[in-house]
Amino acid sequence: MQLAHFLIFLTILTEADPYKVLVYNSKFGFSHSNFLGNIADILVEQGHNVTSLIPIIDPEVRDGTSKSTKIFIPQALETRKILSVMRERKAEYFSMSNYDPFNTLLVGKISDTLLVAQCKAVLEDTKVLKQLQADQFDVMIVENFDMCGVAFAYLVNPKSLITSSASTPFSFMFEEFGIPLALSYNPTSYMSFLDVHSVFERVKNIYGEILMHALLYPGRWMIEELYRDKFGNSFPSLQEISSHAAFTFTNSEPLIDFAAPTLNRVIAIGGIGAKTPIALDQYWSDVVSRRSQTILLSFGSVAKSITLPKAIKQSILKTISAFPNVTFIWKYEQPEDDFGKCASHTHPNLVLTSWTPQNDLLNDRRITAFITHGGMGSTQETALRGIPGIFIPIFGDQPRNAGMMQHNGFGKVLDKFDLKNPETFIAAIKDVLNNDSYRENAAKVSRMLAKKPFSSKELMIRTVEFAAEFGPSRALRPLSYDMNFVEYHNLDIIALSLLLFLFLIYLLTMSIHISFSKNNVKEKKQ
C-alpha cells in the first residue's frame, strides 16, 4: 500500500510540473515508428509536453503517435526515388539469404542512402532546428537506427538524451550503448540457433555480426560526414554523442530474451506498445468458433504475403489442406486478387483477410497457435498472451527473435526456405498442435510477464522523469568509451605478457646452454 501511495504522489507531482520531451521518430518502418510513437503517447498521458519530430521517409508508415504535437519534415525528392528502388527489393526477402554478403551490401547501401537523403532534408529546415533549440527540452529520445536523430540531438542540446533500440541491440548499437558483444554465447541478429560448444556455430555467429556491421556502417559514416560538412570537422562522432546519453531504452524483454551482458543505464521496456486487448467482435468470434482449433498466420507489414513466390503460396495451401479440422486465418493483403479468390474457394478452412485484430485474437483462448515472421512486436504479443507458435524469420532481427522463442519453449523455428516443402511445414504444425509443453511454457511465461514487479510502462515513465530532473549521471557512463580497441581487449597487456614470457624462455634457454657449456669444459679438462 505504501508503494502505491508513493507512485500516486509521484504522479501528482508530475501532473503539476510537466517536462518537455522531444521524440525523433522518422517514418521508416512500422516497428520503429510504433515503438517511439507509443513512448510519446504514454508520456502525454502522464501529463508531459511531448513533441514528435517526424521526418517522412515512407509515407505509408503510420505516424506512430496520435497524442503528441507533431512536426513533419516532408519527404525529399531524393528519398522518394530511393524508396521506390527499396520497395522493388522487398519481393526478394523470401528468397535471399541473410548470409549472402552481396545482398547485405546491396540492401545496406539502399537503406543507408535512403536515411541520409532524408537527413539532408532535416538539416535544410533551419527554421525547425531554431524552434526546437529555443524550446529547451528536458529530454530528447532518439533511436540508434536512423542515426540522423542522434546527431540532431547534439544540435538541439536537451538537458538529457535517451537513446534507444526498437528491438534488442544489434551491430554498432552495442558500441554506442557501451554493451559488450559477447559473441561467444550471445546470438547475433542473423542467428536462430547457437550451439556454444560448436566452433562452427561460433564462427558463424561472428560472421553474422560482421555482416550486420557491414550493413549499417556506411550509413553511420555518411551521416557523420553530412554533419561535419555542414557544422565543421569538430562535430563529434555518433558514438561519442551516444556515450553521453542519460539512459538507453531497448524494446527487449529479459524474461524471453537470451541472457547477455548489459549496463545499469540500459532499461528494457519490451512490450511497451502492447495494447490492452478487447473481446472479439461478432464477426471474428464466429470465425474462431468454426472449428475446435484455429491458427493465425501473418508475415508482418514489410515482407507481405502477396509478395510470396507462387511456389511458396501453393505450398502453404497444401499445408492448410492437410488440416481440414483447423481454421487458418491468413493475413493476406489483397484477398480479392486471383490467388486469394481461388484459395478461398478451394479451401473452406481458410480465411483470407487484409487486416486482423492480432492482439485481440492472440488473447482469445480459441486461438491454438500463431505462425509469424518473428518481428519483435509479434513475438512479444505472443509471449504476453501465452500462445505457442511457429516462427519463420525473414530478415533483420527476426532470426534471433524466433530463436529466443524456441529457446524458451514457445514453439518451433522454421527456415523460410522450408516453406517450399509442405511436408516440413505440416510436420512443424503437427508438433506444435500435439506437444502440450509448448502451450504450458507459453502460459507460464505469460503469467510471469503479468506479475513483473514493475511494468515496462512504469519503468519508461520514471526513467524519463528522472533524466529530465537530474540529467545524465557520470557514474553510469562506462570508461570503455574512452578506450581504444587495444586497451579495451587488453591486447597491450597480452602482448607485454607474451614478450615477458618469451624473454623468460630465452633466459632459461641461455642459462641451460651456459650450464651445459660449463659442464662440457669441465669434462674436457678431466
What was the pLDDT predicted at 521? 63
In whole angstroms, what is the distance from residue 161 CA to residue 253 CA? 22
Question: At a CB cut-off of 8 Å and minimum separation 6, what does 59 contact?
Answer: 27, 75
Secondary structure class of 41 (helix, strand, coil): helix
Q: Are 159 and 141 in contact, with CB atoms under 8 Å apart?
A: no
What was the pLDDT predicted at 526? 60
pLDDT in tens, 2-31: 444 444 445 544 454 799 999 999 999 888
Buried/exposed code over 213-230 (b: 16+ C-beta within 10 A; e: otherwise): bebbebbbebbbebbeee
Secondary structure class of 166 (helix, strand, coil): coil
**Residue 248, strand partner residues:** 163, 266
What was the pLDDT predicted at 347? 95
Secondary structure class of 411 (helix, strand, coil): strand
What was the pLDDT predicted at 523? 63
What was the pLDDT predicted at 478? 94
Alpha helix stretches (DSSP H) within 300-455: 310-321, 338-346, 358-362, 376-385, 398-407, 422-434, 436-450
| E strand or H helix that includes residue 494 | helix 491-525
What was the pLDDT predicted at 314? 94
In whole angstroms, what is the distance from residue 212 CA to residue 111 CA? 13
Q: Are 27 and 57 in contact, with CB atoms under 8 Å apart?
A: yes
Render each residue's pLDDT in the chain as its tens digit; 526 residues.
444 444 444 554 445 479 999 999 999 988 899 999 999 999 999 999 999 999 999 999 999 999 999 999 999 999 999 998 877 766 567 778 888 888 888 888 888 999 999 999 999 999 999 999 999 999 999 999 999 999 999 999 999 999 999 999 999 999 999 999 999 999 999 999 999 999 999 999 999 999 999 988 899 999 999 999 999 999 999 999 999 999 999 999 999 999 999 999 999 999 887 888 999 999 999 999 999 999 999 998 777 888 888 999 999 999 999 999 999 999 999 999 999 999 999 999 999 999 999 999 999 999 999 999 999 989 999 999 999 999 999 888 899 999 999 999 999 999 999 999 999 999 999 999 999 999 999 999 999 999 998 899 999 999 999 999 999 999 999 999 999 999 999 999 999 999 999 999 999 998 888 887 766 666 666 6
What was the pLDDT predicted at 8? 44
What was the pLDDT predicted at 520? 67
Torsion angle of C-alpha atoms 514, 516, 522, 523, degrees rounded to 10: -160
For strands 411-413 and 139-141, give the pairing.
unpaired
Residue spans per domain, the chain: 17-273+454-481, 282-450, 485-525
In whole angstroms, what is the distance from residue 416 CA to residue 492 CA? 45
What was the pLDDT predicted at 276? 85
What was the pLDDT predicted at 25? 97
- Other C-beta atoms closer than 10 Å to the C-beta of 376 total 24
Q: Which phi-psi region, left, alpha or beta, contains residue 77 (left: φ > 0; alpha: ψ -120 to 50)? A: alpha
**Residue 70, strand partner residues:** 52
Cα–chain center distance at 89: 21
Question: At a CB cut-off of 8 Å and minimum separation 6, what does 249 contact?
Answer: 39, 141, 162, 163, 164, 165, 267, 269, 460, 463
Question: At a CB cut-off of 8 Å and minimum separation 6, what does 24 contact?
Answer: 36, 53, 140, 141, 142, 143, 146, 148, 149, 152, 153
**Cα angle value 512/516/517 (rounded, 5°):** 115
Fold for 17-273+454-481, please state it. Answer: Rossmann fold (3.40.50)
- Whether 282-450 and 17-273+454-481 are alike in CATH topology: the answer is yes
At 276, list the grid cell.
Answer: 490492452
What values do phi and psi take at 517, rounded to 5?
-65, -45
pLDDT in tens, 258-301: 999 999 999 999 988 788 899 999 999 999 999 999 999 999 87
What was the pLDDT predicted at 12? 46
Look at residues 22, 24, 273 and name the one whose alpha carbon lies nearest to residue 147: 24
Q: Which residue has the cell 504522479?
A: 11
CATH level 2 (architecture), domain 282-450 = 3-Layer(aba) Sandwich (3.40)
What was the pLDDT predicted at 307? 85
CB-hemisphere CA count at 13 Å for 245? Answer: 34
